[in-house]
Amino acid sequence: MHDFDGKVAVVTGGASGMGRAFAERFAQAGMNVVLADIEEEALETAVRELEQQEHRVIGVVTNTMSRDSVQALAQRTIDEFGKIHIVCNNAGVISRGDAGTRAERGVWEIPQSDWDWVMGVNFWGVLYGLQVFIPHMLQHGEEGHIVNTASLAGLTPGGGAYGVSKHGVLALSEGLYRDLKSRDAKISASVLCPGFVNTRIFAAERNRPEEFESTDAAIDSGASASVETMLQQAKLPSEVAEMVFAAIQDDQFYILPHPAWDETVRSRVEQVLARGAPLSIDFEDLLGRLAAGEDL
């Protein structure tokens, strides 16, 4: 996709972090941008700041766990701008338990509320985005692109609700790309698999619905705090946004902003082909490397 001026982009999780950076990059390219987020106050702030830069942007409060809410987002966008050309299914959360360096629990001990919330936003939210937006994009017949935000957690060994959800997004995105190409659609797709990025994802509990409240006792809050501190030294969302924009231009499917993880991904695949046991990732070592300035 090369013609962006006057086209329309929808970004979920658009009030902050990478989503906010994507929205600003699209707006700089002359696009009309729709920011969707569940956090109303932050959404209003993001819209106001982009409007002050004379960008054409609207905000729509959206709960990506609800297909009806995503459908309402699409309809609001069509009512305002007529067509949709780029969709970033970017909204994502991580539970307190997954945010610790090593939760003292097995995957069978993860509370159902964690599974429901994390899978609901990270996986079902992406799937709803595809189900709602792609029929419209195919119908209008113009060039378009879908970007699904997964994570390096979708390419590396891991458990927990977060890792499982991101593996699911990766597989879903690969199937999406294949299906679009087999139909010679003018829409293409990418999957974004970042490592550490300076966002507020580890504060995602602020937006956790009451019905999914967790009483999990196996939460390493100190570890979570250390991760958040390390994130302040991580890659900036604006850097990732530039890579995403370039991937849309170049029709690049896998977007891997952190090459320092390449060897880990390669080792994981080699271990699979060797019929071996899953690799173990030393999270404490990762935090030390991040603190030392390594781009993880």
Instruction: Name the catalytic one among 128, 162, 177, 254.
Output: 162
pTM above the 0.85 mark?
yes
Going residue by residue through the chain (296 aa), what tens digit of pLDDT does each one get?
999 999 999 999 999 999 999 999 999 999 999 999 999 999 999 999 999 999 999 999 999 999 999 999 999 999 999 999 999 999 999 998 787 644 567 889 999 999 999 999 999 999 999 999 999 999 999 999 999 999 999 999 877 999 999 999 999 999 999 999 999 999 999 999 999 999 988 888 888 988 888 766 545 555 556 666 667 778 999 999 999 999 999 999 999 999 999 999 999 999 999 999 998 887 777 777 777 777 87
Residue-level pLDDT at 101: 47
In whole angstroms, what separates CA 178 from the centre of its chain?
Answer: 20
Q: Is 177 a catalytic residue?
A: no
Return contacts of 171-180, CB within 8 angstroms, 24+ apart. Answer: 172/123, 172/126, 172/127, 172/130, 172/148, 173/126, 173/148, 173/253, 174/253, 176/130, 176/146, 176/148, 177/253
CA dihedral 213, 19, 173, 93 (to 10 degrees): -20
Helix, strand or coil, per DSSP, at residue 188: strand
Residue-level pLDDT at 40: 96
CATH 3.40.50.720 fits 8-291, yes or no: yes
Residue-level pLDDT at 248: 98
Residue-level pLDDT at 182: 97
For residue 115, which phi and psi values (nearest 5 degrees)?
-60, -45
